[in-house]
Amino acid sequence: MTAESAIVTNTSGIVMGIKDGKALIQHEKSKIANRNYYVVGGPGSFKTQSFVLTNMINITDCSIVVTDPKGEVYEKTAKIKEAQGYEVRVVNFKNMSLSDHYNPFGYVRRDLDATTVANTIVSAKNDSKRKDIWFNAQLGLLKALILYAKTEFHPDKRNMEGILDFLQEFDPEANEDGDSELDMKFMALDRRHPARRSYELGFKKSQEKTRASIIISLLTTIGDYVDEEVAAFTSNNDFFFEDIGTRKVALYVLIPTMDTTWEGLINLFFSQMFQELYILGDKNGAKLPVPTVFLLDEFPNLGKFENYETFLATCRGYRIACCTILQNNTQLMDKYGKDKAESILGNCAIKICLGNVNDTTAAYFSNLMGKATVKVETGGRSISKGGTGNSSSSSNFSYSQRSLMNADEILTMNEKDSLVLIAGKYPIKAKKAIQFEIYPKLVDEYEVSQMDYKRKTSLAALEVRNKEIAAYESCLDELDETYYEEDEIEKQSFADMEQDEVLAQARDEIEMYQNSLNVLEAMSKAD
């Protein structure tokens, strides 16, 4: 296949494998229950080569969001996607200087959004199972700070760096009156302001002697954001998640495989993306203008999504396909627990085993494939002679059930074979759709380096930023006018007070003079 024929294809869809020389492809309007995939394969199973890369090349009519632990997928397919008419974006949690920017505060519109952001950040650095006073105190204070930043900070400071600067500037220690500089900043807000309410009902209620400990705990939690590279990365948004649902975007999310420092931020990134796409869909008849496919390789490294099973159960209606890709079932069980893991599996209509899995995963697929009836020779054999001298023989057989493929057979499966199980269909033993066999030398012609990526800010993001700055400066002008009017009133009040004091003093002096005259007059009459 030539590069041109691969780039302009009429077979766009998710490639499951190869059967009888033909690609098994699920198109966007497929009648299968949903377009959610559960794909497992251990190291050396061609997971990236046969599923991720192949589908990055083959899908041409949907936006694609792919997790890319090594940056390999970007390097091999970014130029191909550009040739297919895609806007290419990179969010790089491994090297934030080679990335488009992402600021989670940009998606905070309601109190609940601030709670989600604060909870994810605090949970990532603390034991969320032990939601003690320190956990809740950090969460409440961070939520209040986020809500304060969203309305009171300059738009360029509505980020984690702005919050750190704010905490550095204003002392949390109480003065003689029992109030701190931090208290006074929040208490200056309207009583109904969500930031003040969150602050008053949380941090301000804590005992004075514990406040410093709460601040220190929070600074430890968000301390990684002090780094200059991280502060720049989270300073603003270079694009919006709704872009993915409105035009063809190929978003490569580079994630670390060993370092869990940013697992919470990565989890928040995807959680906000899911939410924003649903909001966009709700504005558009409960479906996205442009369908979207998620290829979530190394899924456990994305952290734990609170409602992932619900997302899978509802995303088909929004024109979203989600491919959950991991090494074995044990990873899913460890991250989500038995019940939620089973719910996640139940919401994936297509399950693919690429081999090199552990015993638990092999047993799961063996059980899922079901039983087959086999004819077994029992070993008995009889010979008889008829009256004509002819002889006949017969063997004894019985029928029994056995696993269509037992766990051992799955564990020793040929490295080029895969199992494709589609809900409501018979299991398929297919060949893997390995990209360099389907598209020989294609990726070599278009390969680029992840180190050469240059961030770019969309026009929409620039417009939003300019509007926020204009609105902020307008509010400052209104405040200046208000302060000017109040100052003039105060000056006039002082002038009136001074005039009243002069008149009162004059009246007192006249009265004293009159009293003196009265005394002199009385003395003259007495003489």
CATH classification at residue 19: 3.40.50.300
Q: Residue 378 domain-assigned?
A: no
96 and 115 fall within a common domain: no
Task: Note down pLDDT in tens along the chain; length 527 residues.
Answer: 443 344 334 588 999 999 999 999 999 989 999 999 999 999 999 999 999 999 999 999 999 999 999 999 999 999 999 999 999 999 999 999 999 999 999 999 999 999 999 999 999 998 767 777 889 999 999 999 999 999 999 999 999 999 999 999 987 776 666 678 899 999 999 999 999 999 999 888 888 888 889 999 999 999 999 999 999 999 999 999 999 999 999 999 999 999 999 999 999 999 999 999 999 999 999 999 999 999 999 999 999 999 999 999 999 999 999 999 999 999 999 999 999 999 999 999 999 999 999 999 999 999 999 988 766 666 655 555 555 556 556 666 777 788 999 999 999 999 999 999 999 999 999 999 999 999 999 999 999 999 999 999 999 999 999 999 999 998 887 765 555 455 555 555 655 566 667 667 767 766 776 776 666 666 666 65
Q: Which of these three, 446, 476, 502, is where a domain ends?
A: 446
Q: Which of these three, 446, 474, 507, is where a domain ends?
A: 446
pLDDT reported for residue 499 = 66
98 and 113 fall within a common domain: no
Q: Residue 324 domain-assigned?
A: yes
pLDDT reported for residue 38 = 99
User: Model pTM?
Assistant: 0.86
242 and 355 fall within a common domain: yes
- The whole-angstrom separation of Cα 527 and Cα 506 is 32
425 and 477 fall within a common domain: no
187 and 244 fall within a common domain: no
CB 384 within 8 A of CB 391: yes
Q: Which of these three, 172, 198, 229, is where a domain ends?
A: 229
- The whole-angstrom separation of Cα 85 and Cα 501 is 80
CB 201 within 8 A of CB 191: no
What contacts 24+ positions apart, CB below 8 Å, involve 122-126?
Answer: 122/221, 123/264, 124/263, 124/264, 124/265, 124/267, 124/303, 125/220, 125/221, 125/264, 126/221
497 and 366 fall within a common domain: no
Question: Domain residues for 222?
Answer: 107-229
With vertex at residue 132, the alpha carbon angle to CA 207 and CA 267, rounded to the nearest 5 degrees, is: 120
- The whole-angstrom separation of Cα 416 and Cα 64 is 26
- 31 CB-near residues (< 8 Å, 6+ apart): none
What is the CA 271 to chain-centroid distance, rounded? Answer: 3
Q: Residue 422 domain-assigned?
A: yes
Q: Residue 201 domain-assigned?
A: yes
Nearest to 274 by CA among 116, 52, 48: 116
Backbone angles phi, psi at 256, to 5 degrees: -70, 145
Nearest to 318 by CA among 261, 360, 363, 277: 277
Domain total of the chain: 3
57 and 136 fall within a common domain: no
What is the CA 398 to chain-centroid distance, rounded? Answer: 56
312 and 425 fall within a common domain: yes
Q: Residue 387 domain-assigned?
A: no
Q: Residue 382 domain-assigned?
A: no
65 and 205 fall within a common domain: no
With vertex at residue 249, the alpha carbon angle to CA 242 and CA 323, rounded to the nearest 5 degrees, is: 90
178 and 281 fall within a common domain: no
189 and 114 fall within a common domain: yes
- The whole-angstrom separation of Cα 318 and Cα 273 is 13
pLDDT reported for residue 77 = 98
Q: Residue 451 domain-assigned?
A: no
CB 381 within 8 A of CB 394: yes
How many residues can be counted in the chain?
Answer: 527
- The whole-angstrom separation of Cα 449 and Cα 176 is 60
pLDDT reported for residue 479 = 60
Label residue 168 left, alpha or beta by phi (over 0 means left) and psi (-120 to 50 means alpha): alpha
Residue with tokens 């002096």: 509
249 and 223 fall within a common domain: no
Q: Residue 468 domain-assigned?
A: yes
Nearest to 303 by CA among 282, 328, 331, 330: 331
CA distances from 511 to 18, 213, 266, 497, 525 (A): 113, 65, 82, 21, 21
Nearest to 10 by CA among 80, 61, 79: 61
Query: Which helix (DSSP H) or strand (DSSP E) does residue 246 occupy?
Result: helix 242-246
Backbone angles phi, psi at 143, to 5 degrees: -60, -45
Nearest to 365 by CA among 453, 300, 429, 301: 429
